[in-house]
Amino acid sequence: MIEMVFNPELGLEICDYCSVGCYLLLLAFEIFIIIYYLIPLRIKSAYIILFYLTLAILLSSSITEGISRLFYKDPGFMVNKETAITPGDYARHVSAITYIILGFLISATMFQLSVSLALVLNIIDVEEANRRKWTYNICVLVISLVYVFCCTIEVRLDNAEHREHMIFEVMGLVVLCLIYFSTIVDLLRKLSIFVLEEAKLEAWFVRG
């Protein structure tokens, strides 16, 4: 009988190589989209530009974390770190922060769609739509700045104590979930109203 021994370190190293490779492919695909689509089409939407910029930061930090894990043999998340802080530790925090910021950006885009649908359905007027959009954008911007500031303090604590806290990443995720689900509920409600109005209009044309 041949006894097969699984080497955990080799398995983790293979996973790290695969993850870095996948992130590199995604980054290359993003660059391809920007060069061949966004630039020729002269896309100037702030939300689209911010989305691709945030995604580039996220992918770059994830690649840096993966390379650091391979180079420094960084085991990843640890409750207590006795070794020195590596570039992968900073990249891991940047990745976690950027994930949340990307979620905030997607939620803001969903809210813009919800307000636009409300404007199309004559639920609100143009002035009210612009007021809601600016209010939401300012609120999300303030939340994002406070979140980044708190995470920066957290990274400094990690550096001083050699301990990963991750508390603000968790709190940011909770806030993101609250904003995301409340936004998507409003968007789905507007979409259902829009579909219902379109169905009524189509039925009216059929009867006519």
In this prediction, residue 138 carries a pLDDT of 92
Query: Are the beta carbons of 200 and 131 closer than 8 angstroms?
Result: no
| CA distance linking residue 75 with residue 46, whole number of Å | 38
Better-predicted residue by pLDDT, 206 or 51: 51
pLDDT band per the 50, 70, 90 thresholds, residue 202? confident
DSSP state of 2: P
Encode 120-138: b = buried (16+ Cβ within 10 Å), e = exposed. Answer: eeeeeeeeebeebbeebee
Q: What is the mean pLDDT of residues 154-170?
A: 74
Q: For the chain, which residues make up each domain, given as ranges?
A: 8-207
| pLDDT tens, residue by residue, 26-70 | 899 889 988 888 888 887 888 888 888 888 998 898 888 888 877
In this prediction, residue 108 carries a pLDDT of 87
